[in-house]
Amino acid sequence: MIVTFTANPSLDRTVALPGPLERGEVQRAVSVSQESGGKGVNVSRALVASGLETIAVLPGGDSDPVLAGLRHDSVPFAALPIDEPLRTNVALTEPGGVTTKINEPGPVLSEEEQEALISLLLERARGASWVVLAGSLPPGFPADFYATVTRRLRNGAGDGTPLIAVDSSGGPLVAAVADTSDGTTPDGTSGKPDLLKPNAEELAELAAAAGFATASTAEELEADPEAAAEAAAAVVRSGVGAVLATLGSKGAVLVTADGAWLATHPPVAAVSTVGAGDSSLAGYLLAHGQGAAPADCLRQAVAHGAAAASLPGSTVPAVHQTTPDAVTITALRKD
């Protein structure tokens, strides 16, 4: 069972434009679609599409359209009722796949609601193989929320501690990695994840904030997988189990304590990249659950990502829609 946790879910509206986005002009949409989204929610949707057991933990009122969408798609979920509506995120897609996303901040949750959300997760995470903590945090959440939740999951789980994956950005991402609790808190439990899934922008952000590597921009990391692997290796040396760094159309690198690999997929006709990163993470977890070696988990991650990019809106692929045999794996120097 893979449990996903999305503190800030969204109704994803994808607006397809007839041509390039024209700032300051009126443009007519070609089509509009909407789906329940948010990073953990998308991971659960992708796992359900491939027949895996998952549950999405999230806040949301019973009549919220995000929950209605999950019911419609038969995605199992456990929701903490809240009064405020969840957010709507808009993605503008251009022919050729260029995607512009506008993400709302999300509802304000009280401290009591934040605590109740953690309790709901702890309850649902019992016996899970993985817990995926994903996405931005709604306004008012402490930046170190993921590190706190990670420690509490590890403390409460006894022998059956789930592996923990984090996919976030900004302050929550930096705090998840900069956690200094190893051996210094009374319980001595690390708040760092077993797997981190940054994209190039997030890896650059992390490297700059933590002083892990010579500062590189997202564009530089996408163009230079060796540099991306170097930045990811610094994150692994800091105590994170493994880093799956996705590099858009350039594929992805995986760095663990034992090695580093690059995976590339032949070019696809990109339609919408919304949910591509979440699909990559789902592909990795799917292969990991089948006992695949690290390089083959990476292979499935990139196969899932490429398939997601070729599908409209935030549609997530099922494993049979992916082409892992088309993925090329190259071993990289780790240090």
Nearer to ligand ADP, 13 or 265 (CB): 265
Q: Which of 4, 5, 10, 58 binds ligand FBP (CB under 6 A)?
A: 10
Tell me which residue has tokens 């996919």.
167
> Which residue stretches of 105-248 are H helix?
111-124, 145-156, 170-178, 200-210, 218-223, 225-237
Site for ligand FBP in 126-165 (CB under 6 A): 135-136
From ligand ADP, ligand FBP, none, interface partner of 204 (C-beta below 5 to 8 A by class): none
From ligand ADP, ligand FBP, none, interface partner of 39 (C-beta below 5 to 8 A by class): ligand FBP
Indicate whether 38 belongs to the interface with ligand FBP (CB under 6 A): yes
SS3 172: helix
Which residues of this chain interact with ligand ADP, rule CB under 6 A?
Answer: 97, 199, 246-249, 251-252, 265, 268, 270, 273, 276-277, 280, 302, 305-306, 308-309
Q: How many angstroms separate the Cα of 113 from the Cα of each of 10, 120, 191?
A: 18, 10, 21
From ligand FBP, ligand ADP, none, interface partner of 251 (C-beta below 5 to 8 A by class): ligand ADP
Q: Which of 14, 34, 54, 169 binds ligand FBP (CB under 6 A)?
A: 169
Nearer to ligand FBP, 228 or 332 (CB): 228
Where on the phi/psi map is residue 106: left (φ > 0), alpha (ψ -120 to 50), or beta? left
Stretch that binds ligand FBP, among 32-40, 47-55, 58-66, 152-160 (CB under 6 A): 32-40
Indicate whether 171 belongs to the interface with ligand FBP (CB under 6 A): no
Q: Which residue is nearest to ligand ADP (CB)?
A: 277
Alpha carbon 266 to chain centroid distance?
23
What is the closest distance, in whole angstroms, from the C-beta atom of residue 84 to ligand FBP in the complex?
A: 16
Indicate whether 8 belongs to the interface with ligand FBP (CB under 6 A): yes
Indicate whether 256 belongs to the interface with ligand FBP (CB under 6 A): no
Instruction: Assess contact for 274 and 39: CB atoms under 8 A.
Output: no
Q: Using N-to-C axis directions, what is the helix angle for 39-49 and 276-289, rounded to 10°?
A: 50
What is the DSSP secondary-structure string of 231-289?
HHHHHHHTT-SEEEEE-GGG-EEEE-SS-EEEEE------S--TTHHHHHHHHHHHHHH
Residues 6+ apart with CB under 8 A from 88: 10, 11, 12, 13, 104
What is the DSSP secondary-structure string of 133-146?
EES---TT--TTHH
Q: Which of 16, 34, 39, 191 binds ligand FBP (CB under 6 A)?
A: 39
Indicate whether 307 belongs to the interface with ligand FBP (CB under 6 A): no
Nearer to ligand FBP, 113 or 190 (CB): 113
Residues that bind ligand FBP (CB under 6 A): 8, 10, 12, 37-39, 42, 89, 103, 135-136, 169, 274-278, 314
